[in-house]
Every structure is written in structure tokens, then in C-alpha cells.
Structure 1
């Protein structure tokens, strides 16, 4: 038997290559350790270099090297310095197997990405997005919750549930270890055309850890992804809202849609259960998902929606304008969970920069 089960539950091949990381090994070696996040090698075992959280070609294309990302603690960090350790071998492999192909597809046009998905590229895009999401969380291990060094503080990532990322880690390693991934393992993935309303920025991103959701706005395209819902959020969004979006969205509407995806995922009454099936004799790794027969949502939590919108719109307060409405009324509307910059009070898509609150 070429594959061996380690004492921690991981599976390794005859050369010591980790085929499958157990949750325990993933948390110990990757999340709390300093091993390569793909192969699990230690820095003293192989040459290491720095892997950008957002790939270099993306930073070049959207002129992000000198710009800053806002961390969960409010601190700003240059994109050029937003990196995680990775062994040189895996870094090169990611470039060849993932980044080269995705960089040729991401040209800022929604049609290019839609055509890529229609021609079977969904898993590749899902893996690419998952790698960014994973690296974002691993990088937060290095930042203090309280930036002021005089104040005792833990790290931002101390609050993360690493078990939630184990599934993502298992999926995104499919370019490193041949893996069969059943279709229903895929999460929600949606691309919408996006317009610029008074903002020169062609790039934006946002994410919710507990909603396992991320949004990337790249030029005229906005990409939304949920990593652990087996498309549950997308189904409910399609049933209730997608058809009402009759034109390109703006940057704030993109953030509201991402919030809706996260909320839908968090409100699923029964969650998908993911499992790795490992055929030791035939050396085959397959990821499967077990789904409820009839997906349902729990009772909607408007207070949670309000808090999430407040968080996701915080950066834009200086630019937000609501004609004839006081700031206090805007605040109450947001925290009450009823505000929408996507639809007006009659449920019609808002196709301009003017938003109304009743």
C-alpha cells in the first residue's frame, strides 16, 4: 500500500507527500505553525519565499502595489507587503497551474469570466478565489487586534474558527494533489457587470469569515463566492433577487450583494456536510458533499443583517449621500437591517447613485 495513514489522521504517500491534511494537522502545521500552506513543508526543509495574498499580476494590473488594504482592526497595510510564507516549489506550481490561466481570463470584463465559467472553468476560478481567501486569513495571524503596541493584545486571527477553513484548504490543494471533486462540492459563484459611480477605483474586495463569503470587484466585473454552501446561497438569491437586477451594479451594491450571500449561507437550516473519501489501495482522493433533500432557511435575522451592512459600508461613510435624510435616520435604517442600496422601497433595482430611505 503506497498511501499511509499518519497518527494524526493525515494521509501521506510513499515519498512523504501529504495527500490529505487532517483537521488537526492543518490547524497545527498551517494555521498555528509556519509550514508551507500547500505542501506542509517546514522552512528548514525547503527553500521558501513570500507569496502575495493577491497575486502579483493582479497587483500590477490594478496598480495596487503602493496602495493599502484595510485590515479587520482598521490598520492599513500596503498590498505589496501583504504576503504569506510559501515554499518556492509550491509558489512556482501555483503560478503555472493556476495564476497563468486565470490571469488570461480576468481582463476586467464580465463576459470574459462568464464565458470561462460556461466553458467549464468554474472549479479553476473557485480554487483561485479560495487560495486568496485562505491566504487572507493566514496573514491575519501576524497582525495584532490592537495596533497600539502599548496595549496588550492578541492577534486578529485568534478569533477565527480554523475548522471552517479546513474544507477550503482541502479543495484548493487539488492542483497539488490530484483530487476528484464532485460537482455539488462547489459553492455559490456569481459574476455581475459593475459600473463606476464617481469612484476612480477599479478594484475592491470584501469578505465575511463566518459567512465564508468573498467579493472581488475587478474593473467592470464583480465576482461573488461562497465556499461552503454547495450553491445554497445562490439558489435562494436567484429565486428572490437576481432577476430584479436589470443593469450593472455599483460598488456599494456589490458589497450589499456579498452581504446577502453571506447571510443566506448563515441562515441555511441544514448545512452541507463535506467529506474526503480516500481509496488507499487505488490512491484516489475524492471530495463529496451530502446535502439536505430540500434546502430551507431559518427565520431571517434583520439585526444581524444590519450589523453586517454597518461593517461593510463603514469605509464609504464620507461618500454616502441620501437626499433629504439625516445621518441618524440612515444609521437607524442600516442597523435595523432594512436598508438597501440595491432596491428601492418598491423592490425596483436602483440604477443610479441616488438612494432613498423611507
Structure 2
């Protein structure tokens, strides 16, 4: 069974399994992984905060947990957390490709962990049966699950990266987080530094917007930019998807250098930012 089939098979039958390595859980190896890391909501004093789920209920960050084995929770993911904190402490400066991969893995754990939580909860809290998200919906995110599983393998990125990453700085100091897993995009604000990342785009948006300023943003500008990328990802036609293959226990992700031009429909709320991005798209890719 190849990696894609293995992930899909386990996602379809995830009950009593670790969300990451898919091993069977029992009393000896079971633990709970906090989707939003505990150090994060403690650092920014968000212990009592949470997020609204697809069934319109609010879940506090402390309660947003998913089943994990002790090895994945206390060893593998702990190493990712420590590496990410070190990168954050350095204000995301002079990032290597390996450090960008850590940022991608850390972000995907949060995005996909939230998705898996919704896959386990009832859509109608008064009825048993239909879940907030079905397997058929979640399997659309297979490329992101494969990228998350790069945690377990030596990983080679060919041609372009399978993400676009924008480091941002801010006028004010506070925490903020936005994501849309099905638009494959997330943004984080950690005080006066943060990032926007969009996945599975072969670095299309990073190349297209390489001259765009992401410095000293206001909080509203940050939110506007994040939702601009949501709008772009929602309305694109075909950004060529990266090919992902597991060969001799090595994960090879190969991204093509040429793209289809996105079709964009947008509201006036995003007009200025989108006009800039689209003008860059036209100059570079509309050939």
C-alpha cells in the first residue's frame, strides 16, 4: 500500500487510532494532543479563548484535543514545537528550507487537527449520526496530510516548494490566528511578527507577490490579506498540484514551474490587494 492509500484508509477508519502515525491506541500508549499548543495560548494569555466549530458550537483551546499516541505527542510533535519556538524566537529571520518545512508541519498539525476534530463531532449536537465533516470532504485535503507526514521521512523538495510563505510584521503586539483548511491557507500573528502560508500551490503566490509589502501591518490589514488569500484560493482554476511519491522511505515532492492562470471573482473589500496580486499574475504568468 502506498502512502496516499495508507493515509486515506486510516482517515476513513480513524477511531481508536493516533491521528498522526495511525497506531492503535490503548491504555498504555494513549494521550491527548492539544491542537493549539498549550505554550501558545499560555504565552499570549488565551487560556479561556477558543474557536467556533462547524456545528456552531464554541470549543475552548484547552478542550480542542485529538487522540495521539504518547510517542507522537511527547517525542515527535514535541521536537517540532521546540524547533518552531526557536524559529519564532529568531523572528523568522533568514529562514532555511528546513526551517520553512518546520513552519509548514507546525501549521498543518493545527489546521488538520482541527479538521479531524470536526470529523469526530456531531453536526447536530442533539442528534447522533451525521458528523460536521465527512470522510469524502476530508479526503480532498490528502496533499496536506501527505505533507504533514513528511515529519516521518527524509523529504526532498524538487523545483518549487509546495507552499508560499510570507513573513509579516505588525504595528501592534497581540496574538491572532485565521485558517481555512479547504482553501489551504492559514495566518498567525505572534505579537509583532507573524506569517501567512498557503499550501499546495507550487510557490505560485510567493513568486507572484514577491514585491508586495508585508511590513508593519495593522490588525485589519492582516485580516484583509488573509481573507484575500482565502478568496484567491477559493476562486482559482488549476494551480498545478505537486506530485508526492514515497521512494525507498524517502518522500519526494516535485512541483512544476508552470501554472494555469486563476480565475478570480472578488468583492470590493479585497479590491486593492487583489488588483496588485492580479497585475503581478498577469505580468508573470498570463502567457
TM-score of Structure 1 vs Structure 2, range by shorter chain: 0.7 to 0.9
| CA displacement at 1:85 relative to structure 2 | 0.4
Q: Which residue is equivalent to 1:4?
A: none
| Alpha-carbon contact 1:102-1:125 (below 8 Å) kept | yes
The question of whether the paired residues in 1 share the 8 Å contact of 2:119 and 2:135 is answered with no
The answer to whether residue 7 in structure 2 is matched with residue 26 in structure 1 is yes
Deviation at 1:234, TM superposition (A): 2.5
- Alignment match, 2:231: 263
Q: Counterpart of 2:116?
A: 138
Q: Which residue does 1:181 correspond to in 2?
A: 157
Q: Which residue matches 1:307?
A: none
Residues 176-202 of structure 1 deviation map (CA, whole Å, 9 limit, x = unaligned): 233333352430111111233xxxx82
C-alpha displacement of 1:105:
2.7
How far apart, in 2, do the equivalents of 1:72 and 1:257 lie?
Answer: 23
1:66: how far off? 2.0
Q: Indicate yes or no: 2:133 matched with 1:157.
A: yes
Residue 100 of structure 2 corresponds to 122
What's the CA shift string for 1:293-312, capped at 9, x where partnerless? 3x34233212xxxxxxxxxx
Question: How far apart in 2 are the matches of 1:225 and 1:171?
Answer: 14
Q: Give the superposition deviation at 1:100.
A: 0.9
Alpha-carbon distance between aligned partners in 1 of 2:10 and 2:28, rounded to the nearest angstrom: 15
- What displacement does 1:292 show? 5.3
CA shift, 1:216, in A, is: 1.3
- CA RMSD in angstroms comes to 2.9
Determine whether 1:212 maps to 2:184. Answer: yes
Larger Rg: 1
Q: Of 170, 184, 192, which residue of structure 2 is paired with 1:194?
A: 170
Q: Which of the two has greater strand per residue?
A: 2
> Which blocks of at least 5 consecutive residues in structure 1 are unaligned?
1-8, 11-19, 303-336, 348-358
Q: Which of the residues 130, 147, 152 maps onto 1:171?
A: 147
Task: Give the TM-score, by structure 2 length.
Answer: 0.83
SS of equivalent to 2:154:
coil
Q: Write the distance in 2 (CA, Å) between the matches of 1:73 and 1:121.
A: 35
Matched residue of 1:140: which SS?
A: helix
Q: Secondary structure at the residue paired with 2:137?
A: coil
Unaligned runs of 5+ in 2: 277-287
What does residue 288 of structure 1 align with? 253
Aligned to 1:224: 196
SS of structure 1 residue aligned to 2:242: strand
Find the residue that maps to 2:93 and give its secondary structure.
Answer: helix
**TM-score, normalising length from structure 1?**
0.68
- Corresponding pairs, count: 274
Task: Provide the rounded CA distance (Å) in 1 between the counterparts of 2:51 and 2:91.
Answer: 25
Greater relative CO, 1 or 2 (CA 8 Å, sep 6+): 2
